[in-house]
Structure 1
Amino acid sequence: MIAGAMAGISEHAAIFPVDSIKTRMQVLAPVSVQAAGEGAAAAAARAPVTTFTQHLRLASVTEGVRSLWRGVGSVILGAGPAHAAHFGMYEFVREIAGGHDEGMKGVAGTALAGASATITSDALMNPFDVIKQRMQIQGSPFRSVWQCAKTVYRTEGLTAFYVSYPTTLTMTVPFTAVQFSVYESLKSLFNPSGAYSPITHVTAGGIAGGIAAAVTTPLDVAKTLLQTRGSSTDDRIRNARGMGEALRIIVERDGWRGLRRGLVPRVLTVAPSTAISWMSYEFFKVLIRQGGQLPETGTPA
């Protein structure tokens, strides 16, 4: 559990600036690049900022690059307990549900354990994710996790921290299905022998995660709308109640292309983490099978 907690914190913190850009790209209300000597109102009437590089430049010019780390404290506070709970719940449920058994009972037990772990970790992480995104958006007034949490709770109530929870769980199912199927297919393609091969596991894991992230981006955009709705000045967005309504608002306001907002930074944040995750999984799988002896490339996996 401790290892899982540290891995979760490291993974999220390392890619946080890119994640901040993703959040800013997904927020529906457009922001604009402010030219030298131009007032904010005039800038707002001009070209909307839509690309990754435009958002990065805007953050650098108006708020400083350090603003892209705003909200990282929420990740540090939430990712540790959430990842620890994920691994702890997985092992607990797998043990009592027969996940170590042979045949279908083992498959069913492992599936139940994975689902239980996801539900538990997402339930713990969701409030921290809401706080994180409220602090990540352009011009956020919040400078501390506690200030943000207190304000959101006072003005919007406890439901604000969980309005996106069903969307998060809905997104997890296709993400996991795509990631696992693509990974296993690519692993067999790149390494037909099935032997331990770190480069294969990293490459297949990264590609699988990237594809899964791209496929589920529309749901991620909807989740961002729900989690940042309280910071919007648009009454309809502020009153959005669920995934279906969020998706309708996005398509009505920005067309179908709006469902692709933040696709590039989402892929850039997810692909490295899944690559490391799969490499670690395959490494420890062989390590345990060999009784603690370090695996070498070519070892049967």
Structure 2
Amino acid sequence: MDIGEDQYESLGSNASMAQNAIAGAFAGIGEHCLMYPIDAYKTRVQVLHKATAVTLRNTWRGVYSVVMGAGPAHALHFATFEYCRARFATSTHDLVASGAAGACATFAHDALMTPFDVVKQRMQLASYRSVRECARKIYAAEGWAAFYISLPTTLSMSVPFQSLQFAMYDYASSLLNPSNTYDPKSHMMAGALAGAVASSITTPLDVIKTLLQTRGNATDPRIRHCSGFWEGAKLIAERHGATGFFRGFKPRVLTHMPSTAISWSVYEYFKWFLSTYQPAATATTATTTAVSSST
């Protein structure tokens, strides 16, 4: 095993917060941007009110909001996860520690990302010239509360989703890559499995979250004034029954399988990439010190 692989194995606990944050930022941007068209379709399927049809022209509308939020939010997400897992774990693949660390990371991520997600979904459903214009109109019409009304529901969905995802990823990795070395194929397969399981279980919560985040675009008074999780759930049940909570199930799973695979693959790559330069940097520093001392 070369020094890069050996260093990679311990990077999760020994890497700096900056390294984890940089890897996480690239992972978040890659994940959201590459799967954005399917996410836009999922949003239109989930809303209860009439939305604009999907066209090639508006497929990418709102993506800049994701780019602006996903980088810093995922940087905070993965850095928090690695820090908490290192503190909680008692073994290399401690599923309970991974799940708990994923929950902690989710609180940090969602607090930062939710307003950007609101703007993104509003732009997916209606025409705005820019992210700034959309945010300004939301604030003018509904106030600051509009950016965070879905946060409790988002957390109620994201905490189990991320806990399941991180635990499932660790479990799948322990089977596919027991040596814990850099292996793109196993990272991608474990990520896809984690995304499929977590997204399937949490779809009903995602439907409620979408209703709350897009209520300002609705003309229906009940939807427009829906005030929270339980009222949203009641409204969905009344109009569509139990099947209403699985609106957008297929595009959601089809989004999260590849997006989670991409996210983990990009994250693990940058962890490996950053780790390969640590030994060289250390060797250079040691050589310089030795030369200075002899001089």
Checking the alignment, whether the CA contact within 8 Å between 1:99 and 1:108 is kept in structure 2 is no
SS at match of 2:226: coil
Matches within 5 A, 1:3-14: 3-14=23-34
In the other structure, the counterpart of 1:135 is 123
In the other structure, the counterpart of 2:72 is 81
Matches within 5 A, 1:149-164: 149-164=135-150
Assess, with a 3 A threshold, how the Cα gap between structure 1 residues 157 and 284 changes in structure 2: closer, same or farther: closer
What is the root-mean-square deviation of aligned Cα atoms in Å? 3.2
Q: Which amino acid aligns with 2:62?
A: G
Structure 1: gaps spanning 5 or more residues: 32-54, 294-301
- Report the Cα offset of residue 276 of structure 1: 3.0
Q: How many residues align?
A: 256
Identity %: 50
CA distance in structure 2 between the partners assigned to 1:130 and 1:193 by the alignment: 40
Assess, with a 3 A threshold, how the Cα gap between structure 1 residues 281 and 70 changes in structure 2: closer, same or farther: closer
Checking the alignment, whether the CA contact within 8 Å between 1:19 and 1:265 is kept in structure 2 is yes
Is 1:124 the counterpart of 2:112? The answer is yes
Matches within 5 A, 1:163-202: 163-187=149-173, 191=176, 196=181, 197-202=183-188
Checking the alignment, whether the CA contact within 8 Å between 1:13 and 1:75 is kept in structure 2 is yes
CA distance in structure 1 between the partners assigned to 2:195 and 2:60 by the alignment: 24
- Report the Cα offset of residue 84 of structure 1: 2.3
CA distance in structure 1 between the partners assigned to 2:200 and 2:256 by the alignment: 9
Assess, with a 3 A threshold, how the Cα gap between structure 1 residues 132 and 217 changes in structure 2: closer, same or farther: same
- Report the Cα offset of residue 206 of structure 1: 0.3
Q: What do the CA deviations read for 1:121-170 (whole angstroms, capped 9, x no partner)? A: 21111001001000101xx1322111111111011010000010011111
In the other structure, the counterpart of 2:22 is 2
CA distance in structure 1 between the partners assigned to 2:186 and 2:255 by the alignment: 20
Matches within 5 A, 1:277-296: 277-279=263-265
SS at match of 1:59: coil
Matches within 5 A, 1:123-272: 123-137=111-125, 140-187=126-173, 191=176, 196=181, 197-272=183-258
Structure 2: gaps spanning 5 or more residues: 1-20, 280-295
- Report the Cα offset of residue 245 of structure 1: 1.3
TM-score by length of 2: 0.74
Bigger mean CA deviation after superposition, 223-232 or 9-18: 9-18
Assess, with a 3 A threshold, how the Cα gap between structure 1 residues 187 and 288 changes in structure 2: closer, same or farther: same
Matches within 5 A, 1:18-29: 18-29=38-49
In the other structure, the counterpart of 1:70 is 61
Checking the alignment, whether the CA contact within 8 Å between 1:70 and 1:143 is kept in structure 2 is no
In the other structure, the counterpart of 1:59 is 54
Q: Which amino acid aligns with 1:12?
A: H
Structure whose residues are more often helix by fraction:
2
